[in-house]
Chains A and B, each alone.
Chain A
């Protein structure tokens, strides 16, 4: 295989990870605020269905995305109400919603199975960026509008987290809500807001599947992606950059599995469908182990600090715990 071809395969693989990027960033935002939205699997699936149906009915892809984002936010609202206001177990609520929404998507989406629908406009290259050596052809030639929006989302989220007052507050309420409250922040309202934003992004992830990267709708169309998104967020150390990298890695693993499947035909196809998930977990475990920290301790202090921030993997201290105020 010549390098040009390999590049195209890689570029396509990276592009196809875009829905996962949206989902991972959404979940990262929510969890940083201290709320676990465990319904990702169901949210993505139901929103894929809703997005497809809305786009088909209105004959407008963008309306599909809007509808999916709204439904995603709505599911997140249920999570937020149960977790923040009723102070119930976030795990239980999320899990039940994950199952419920998956089944709902199968039931409601039944009339729309395997019919053609609108899709996102075709791919285009970005004028100047595509000429950058190596990175240009890899990232800026094979994408469509959604792929590039994904890049922007990653950068914007990172910037928001670490360079703005709002992002600092977001991290604060996930770490020590009582202290954030004492500094005058409305912890409850902010947690609601970030849970809804995260849910909307997961909704967009769903629509990105059904309207773009896995166009159409079928029974359990996006099965497995929600769970892998949750895993990537954890192993990504709640850092948007690392989470996005994880998502892209998964995309590459999946397309490699595709290539492998066509070269070794007598292995059952299920092996290649499942392999990326298994490999991904392995890769994530390897890249977030203790040994990285141990390696770091040999570096000079200032280098260590900046690196430590990137590989720091402690969950937000108040993750999953409701904020009690007396």
Chain B
């Protein structure tokens, strides 16, 4: 014990210039799930290494092991050729390894600035809020983040919390940076700024591990990618070596190749097809908003008139926290508008309780799956039982089990009926949520329907949603993924600086032009 401590303090390479990171033969089991099965990974100093793979492939498990957050069953971590003794995050931090967790790991009741200061090595014993605030604001400016240092974190959106964590991590000046899906909650311009910063850090010799489901991001940023599937490494690609592929697989050297297609094939073992949104063929309206005034602490917004037809998909674009959530909550009957009226299938539901909205066939899927959508601690089967029409006070276990089995089969959920929802991977949680939606639906309201999902799941989810549209459900969804909005929407509304744009036909939009509108130019 003592020897280990001594060794750590002798070679304390925090902030040292270059670090080569090697993970060797890592194994990790959760019960009978082999989350990491003999995984080896090498990240050269000064490079950005992409880590890709389907939901539940074991990416987060691997990087959490490197950051000391979870302990490995066996295997070795080697930094600059010397074995590193990482058993806890404190050890990892001593080696200069900092990690941005996939689900924001922060302190919701504390303020943003308190979160920024908590656990930062530069925080003095007596807090100096002013100095921290200066530092914080400077970093926010650098990345074009608009974060209020004195806002409670519980009042921030998931995306804003992610931004806060990015700022905190970069301020701590780690030598090895792990980013587990950092781009899900930030805008296109913010992403460009973040990528520039990461490239700069890599040039300084830092090693960066970047976990993502977005192939464009990986292609734009990474020097090298590793693909995982079902707990194992299935391939590696060098994206910068002028086509001299170093994949385990075979492909003609020197030939031009489509990296994205190649990666998709490694991840899923096959090519994937995009679902196509058919034209709407119904004129009946599902949802009508008339002179709606929305008001919250920070915002006041007005919508003159919006009529959504059955089968129509309305994409909601805008920076996180521009009021999209309030808008969706109001449409779902969970918040009441300050003025104006809401009609669902022709019925006036203004100021009616949530239950009236549910009865009218309105369903809302929130972004924070584990906090608002699903109930931590309950299994898939129990969720199904909760949703089933109740006759009497007892749960019909057999029926619930059967129903859960059916949901798992049709929605392809990787789990068992008795699996607690928080143990499912992000993709499987989203599948569970979709499986739990009631069947005839008039209006479906969603925040970030595919956030954190792998490509296959994303396509699958949209396939399901389009099927719903064909049955006459109107869908309104907010997303920070502009490609997704342009791809699947019929019309788009943009939230920007407290204003809501009139609906724009999606056919007239590209991700780029949409990105500019979010900047406030409409």
Whether the Cβ atoms of B93 and A175 lie closer than 8 Å is no
Distance in Å: Cβ of B147 to nearest Cβ of chain A: 15
Q: Beyond the given A165-B126, A175-B109, A314-B109, please list 13 additional residue pairs across the A-B interface where CB-CB is below 8 A.
A: A163-B127, A165-B127, A168-B114, A168-B117, A169-B118, A175-B107, A176-B106, A180-B107, A181-B69, A183-B119, A184-B119, A326-B30, A326-B71
**A314 CA to B30 CA in the complex, in Å?**
34
Contacts of B117 in A (CB 8 A): 165, 168
Measured between alpha carbons, how far is A186 from B118 in the docked complex, in Å?
13
How far is A149 from B39 in the complex, measured between Cα atoms in Å?
58
- Are A163 and B126 in contact, CB atoms less than 8 angstroms apart? yes
Smallest CB-CB separation from B298: which chain A residue?
A301
Q: Would you call A116 an interface residue if the criterion is a C-beta within 8 Å of the partner chain's C-beta atoms?
A: no
Complex Cα–Cα for A185 and B89 (A) = 8
- Provide 23 A-B residue pairs closer than 8 Å at the C-beta atoms, listed in order of the A residue: A163-B127, A164-B125, A165-B125, A165-B126, A165-B127, A169-B118, A172-B107, A172-B119, A175-B109, A178-B105, A179-B107, A180-B107, A181-B88, A181-B89, A182-B67, A182-B105, A183-B119, A184-B88, A184-B93, A184-B119, A186-B88, A316-B109, A326-B71
Q: At the interface, yes or no: B99 with Cβ under 8 Å from chain A?
A: yes
Which chain A residue has the least Cβ–Cβ distance from B151? Answer: A305
Q: Is A164 a contact of B89 with CB atoms below 8 Å?
A: no
State the CA gap A182–B125 with chains docked (Å): 20
Complex interface: chain B residues within 8 A of A168 (CB): 110, 114, 117-118, 123, 127
Query: In the complex, what distance in Å separates the CA atom of A37 from the CA atom of B118?
Result: 25
A residues lining the B interface (CB < 8 Å) = 163-166, 168-169, 171-172, 175-176, 178-186, 301, 305, 312, 314, 316-317, 325-326
A53 and B401 alpha carbons, distance in the complex (Å): 63
Give Cα A185 to B178, complex, Å: 19
**B254 close to chain A: CB less than 8 A:** no
Give chain B residues whose Cβ lies under 8 Å from the Cβ of A181.
69, 88-89
Q: Is the interface of A mostly helix, strand, loop or mixed?
A: helix
Q: When the two chains form the complex, which single residue of A169, A183, A317 contacts B109, counting CB atoms closer than 8 Å?
A: A317
The answer to whether A180 and B297 have CB atoms under 8 Å apart is no
Interface size range of chain B in the complex:
20 to 34
B125 near A172 with CB under 8 A, answer: no
A8 CB → nearest B CB, Å = 39
Q: Which residues of B contact A (CB under 8 A)?
A: 30, 67, 69-71, 88-90, 92-93, 99, 101, 105-110, 114, 117-120, 123-127, 150, 297
With A and B bound together, what is the CA distance between A170 and B27 in angstroms? 34
The docked-state distance in angstroms from the alpha carbon of A231 to that of B394 is: 36
Chain A positions within 8 Å of B126 at CB level: 163-165
**In the complex the two chains form, is A179's CB within 8 Å of B114's CB?**
no
Q: Is the CB of B119 within 8 A of A185?
A: yes
| Cβ-defined partner of B119 (8 Å) among A180, A316, A317 | A180
Contact partners of B123 in chain A: CB under 8 A: 165, 168
Max chain B Cβ within 10 angstroms of own Cβ: one of A164, A171, A183, A325? A183
A residues less than 8 Å from B120 (CB atoms): 183
A183 in contact with B108 given A163-B126, A326-B30 (CB within 8 Å):
no
A169 — which chain B residues lie within 8 A by C-beta? Answer: 118-119
Q: Which of A172, A301, A312 has the most chain B CB atoms closer than 10 A to its own CB?
A: A172
Closest A residue to B172 by beta carbon equals A183
- Cβ-neighbour of A175 out of B90, B110, B127, B150 (below 8 A): B110
Q: Which residues of B contact A179 (CB under 8 A)?
A: 105-107
